[in-house]
Copies of this chain bind each other. A is one copy, B any other.
Amino acid sequence: MLTKNNTPVIGKQLDKVAQTIEEHLVVRNKDIERATTELQRAGGKMLRPSFLLIFAALGDTSKQSEEQLISLAASVEVLHMATLIHDDIVDDSPMRRGIQTVQSKYGKDIAVYTGDLLFTVYFELLASSGDLGDFIKVNSKAMKKILLGELDQMHTRFNQEITMLDYFRSISGKTAELFSLACREGAHFGYCPPNVEKLATRIGTNIGLAFQVLDDILDYSATRKDLKKPVLEDISEGVYTSPLILGMQKNREAFCPFLDKKEPLTVEESDNLRKLVIESGGLDAAKELAQRLTQKALDDIDHLPKGKAQKLLLKLTKELLKRTY
């Protein structure tokens, strides 16, 4: 994880991003303020702002406005937080980042409006970050793509015929789009040359895809304590992720009893399903997939201008891959 100490290139800026976000979370309604501030302080990894700032650091620093970059970096994190809160309503998730979700602690009503408020803060941060010109359209398209990805995921719930194509379509929006936006926006407002902005967009997509696959893998290899959220809760919500889908391709029948069950899985059933995913090769196939996607990103990073920022990007991307093994 990124901290001020291990990332001298962007560490101070990340602090400013966190401060900017907190300033924008101040509202009259103290329940809402507490809910958003708790989520913020519970320490998201701030990956999206980090990628934005690293790509900006690759550009022409003499032309950049640090204030603009901080606002934009804050905006991508806030958009991420907004989607998390609404996802947790839809998923009825009890935990997020090791603390209770807004929905489970404050109830559905506050969770709906808190997410909405964060969407407006996202918009506010964009609007106040100086003239974005046509790039405002890139933002609106990205936001729509993210939402459509969420809808795709909801639509394929409990669909035991789900393919890897369905899966990729959903995570391309739901997860990869925001990483891609962050990287591209950093390159753009960091005054990188057009070819770097193009690479940034693709690197962001591949990192985002890899990140999601790794997140899926964690569900099958980590304990509840490591993960700071319940293990395999996706299954009882009908959300089938890459290790499961890849496992089912080998031995569909064995999985049916787990998926046909209407209630949440017991601890024993979770353990058995985890074993099945491992034995069927689903977990290994997902790991290979994550590695392939990360390698694509690393290959592209290799073509970026060399220097501290590029080194940091390389390090961060490698760490993202390492985190499951």
Contacts and interface: CB of A to CB of B under 8 A. Distances in A.
A204 B140 CA distance: 27
A158 to B, nearest CB: 12
A121 B144 contact: yes
A127 B120 contact: no
B120 A143 contact: yes
Given A112-B86, A120-B147, A126 B140 contact: yes
Interface string A125-144: 01110010100110111011
A318 B119 CA distance: 36
B147 A116 contact: yes
Interface residues of A, number: 40
Contacts of A121: 144
A32 B116 CA distance: 18
A90 B143 CA distance: 24
A154 B89 contact: no
9 contacts: A29-B151, A29-B154, A113-B147, A116-B150, A120-B147, A123-B139, A124-B143, A127-B137, A128-B140
Interface of A: 27-29, 31-32, 86, 89-90, 108-110, 112-113, 115-117, 119-121, 123-124, 126-128, 131, 133, 136-137, 139-141, 143-144, 147-148, 150-152, 154-155
Contacts of A151: 27-29, 32, 113, 117
Contacts of A155: 28-29, 31
Contacts of A31: 155
B86 A154 contact: no
Given A90-B108, A113-B147, A128-B140, 18 more contacts: A27-B151, A29-B155, A89-B108, A90-B113, A110-B154, A112-B115, A113-B154, A115-B116, A116-B119, A116-B147, A116-B150, A117-B144, A117-B147, A117-B148, A120-B140, A123-B143, A126-B140, A127-B136
Given A90-B109, A113-B147, A140 B119 contact: no
Nearest to A86: B112
A147 B118 CA distance: 10
Contacts of A136: 126-127, 136
Contacts of A127: 136-137, 139-140
Q: Which of A27, A29, A120 has most B Cβ within 10 Å?
A: A120
A29 B141 CA distance: 17
A109 B154 contact: yes
A291 to B, nearest CB: 30
A184 to B, nearest CB: 16
A28 B154 contact: no
Contacts of A28: 148, 151-152, 155
A27 B154 CA distance: 14
Contacts of A86: 112-113, 116
Nearest to A137: B127
A170 to B, nearest CB: 11
